[in-house]
Structure formats: C-alpha cells, structure tokens
Amino acid sequence: MSNFKKIFILSAIVVAFGIYIGFYGFAMSANTQSLSGYGWNADTSTGGVGGMGWLGFNGANYGVDLDKDAYLLGYAWSSNYGWIKFGGLADFPVGAGTTTANAQLINGELTGWARACSTFQSGCSGDYYYGNSHPDPLIFNDLSTNPYLGGWDGWISLSGNSLNGGKYGVTFSGKGGVSNATGYAWGGGGYNIGWIDFSQVKLGIIDTSYFTLVSDKTFVTASTDSFNLTLQGSGLNSNSGVATGGDPNWINQGLNLCPNSGSPVTYGPRSLSEISSTTTSATYTLTCTTLAGNFLTKSVTITLRDVNFCINNPTDPTCKKTPHYIER
C-alpha cells in the first residue's frame, strides 16, 4: 500500500475511531497485567522509511491488557496505520501453524491474531475501506478489486510457520513481575506490513497508584495549636499502611489505613502537644502498598517556632508577606 493511500485511509477514519475509543476505551486498574513499550516495523523498499513505524501498546486512554484467561484485549496505536485491535475479533484467516482465535498468551507465547482497523470504512468491522466513493460491495469488499487496500486485509498473525518451514512468533519471559518480549509477528508480504519486531515490548503490571499526605499548616506558634492532616489516594491496599512519627494516635485513629477512594479524607484537629508538651517538631509518615505490589511513602513535618519568627526573619521564604497600606 502506498504512503498516500495509507495517509488517505487514516485521515478519513482516525478521528471517528478516536471518538469510538473515547467512549469505549479501557480504564486499566492498578493491578492489571498490560503490554507496554513499542513494536517496530519499517518498509525501506521505496528508499525511505515507511511501513507501520512505531506501534505503541499503552498511552492516554488506550492500551492492551491481559484478562483473567490470558487473552489480550484492547488497542495498540501506529501513527501510520492507526488502531490495531486485540480481542473481540472473528472470522480468522487460516495459515500454516497459526491459531484461528483471538490473541492469547499460552505458556509465555502469543497465539492468534490481531487486526488493523484502518482496513475498514469505520470502526473495526463491516465494509472494507471505500473512501468517499459510493460503496459497491462487489468492488470494495473484494480485496482483489478494492483500489485502496492493495489486497491487504489487516490481519496480523502473532505466531505460525514461515514459508521456509521455520517457526515465528512472540515469546515473553522474565522475572520480578515484568516479562520481556522477543520475536516477531507477521502481517503478510507484498503491500502488507511484513515483520513486526516485539523486542521492545514488555508485559507486566502498570502501576497507576498514587497518594498524597498534606497538612493545612507546616508551622505552629504553640504546641497546642491545631492542624489537619489530609490523605488522598487510589490504587492502594487500604489495609497495608505503616504509619510512623507523630503521636500514638497517628496509628490508633486509623491513619495506618491507606486511602483508596480517590476522595480526600481529613484527620484532625491534631497538635504537637499530643506527642508531649516539649515537642518542637514532628514528622508524620505513611507508607502504603499499591495493588501492584510497590511501595509509596509520603511525609509531612510540623514545626513549632516563636511567634515573632517572621518579624525577626522577614526574608525567610516560609514567612508570608503582608502588604502595607499607606493612608492618604
């Protein structure tokens, strides 16, 4: 397929299909096994670098996940060929050594098929692409006569046997919860994609967890002055928290429970006098375990200082400057 035809196809459908992905996109949870990184395909037959180019497996509002049965679900993205769909496909082609099924990870090896959506007029099924012409099914849905696709049906085989009898495919292996891919997928010859290199693709848990710990005051002028601590977070094991520092109630009042709702939770009022009457500084620290098995630690320090500190240290950056007004 010429670069002109590829660009023409994408310019006509990418915006519409982008809206489709927006409505039916994939919200990856913090403990979902997902593909990340990039595949690579290049066509240098015309003297330049064409073909699919970089194939991204995760980004804003899209990605490819592994479900509980080890099937791949979602979309990858190529700026030259558009969306590549994994899962939810049917009517698979038959090829030597291939599996007529949706993409699945079996014993570390990918099997089945993915498909490029740019071969369709809209979405990722239905009529083959026919541009702005009046569709004639006898012409446009026959790949041998479709003037835009050059015989390409968009199917990408993830494993099988090559013409010389050798085996090709994509294999994942690794330790520590992240597997690295090796090998190639095949999109066909001629006008088609050819070999897609998966060596920069990884499979593992994409950790989107976060949390914050803040105080409405970082300085107080008396040990009995009150302040409030606020937690906010998501994607955490709510029973995993380890709280240190501060007063004993920092743990006893439940602050060892990590925030997981995404909404802020405020604990207070508190004061340094809860620790002791002579405390001049205290650091409140909370360590949480994410659902992906990682650790996040946040701290906030409250310091007691003289009421005249800012008068005596006017250039200190922590002192708020009060505007002066001149009466006229």
- The pTM of the full predicted model, rounded to 2 decimals, is 0.59
Chain Cα centroid distance, residue 18:
17
Yes or no: say if 64 and 86 are a contact pair by the CB < 8 Å rule.
yes
Q: What is the pLDDT at residue 191?
A: 56
Percent of the chain at pLDDT > 90 equals 37
**How does pLDDT run across 68-96, given as a tens digit for each residue?**
899 999 999 998 889 999 999 999 999 89
Judge whether 319 lies within some domain.
no
Q: How far apart are CA 119 and CA 154, in angstroms?
A: 6
Domain boundary, last residue among 147, 181, 205: 205
First to last CA, the chain: 79
CA nearest to 209, candidates 280, 156, 148, 260: 260
Task: Return the ∠ at Cα 212 (arms to 211 and 215), rounded to 5°.
Answer: 155
Domain coverage including residue 22: 3-205
pLDDT of residue 299: 93
> Is residue 2 pLDDT above 80, yes or no?
no
Domain co-membership, 192 together with 247: no
Measured distance CA(212)–CA(231) in Å, rounded: 6
Is the same domain home to 165 and 231? no
Name the band, by pLDDT with cuts 50, 70 and 90, for residue 298. very high
The tens digit of pLDDT for each residue in 169-209 reads 999 987 656 789 999 999 876 555 789 999 999 998 767 78
Q: How many CB atoms lie within 10 A of CB 231?
A: 23
C-alpha distances out from residue 259 to 213, 239, 262, Å: 10, 9, 7
Within-domain flag for 12: yes
Number of continuous H segments (helices) and E segments (strands) in the chain: 4, 21
d(CA 84, CA 124): 9
Task: Give the pLDDT of residue 17.
Answer: 47
Same domain for 105 and 183? yes
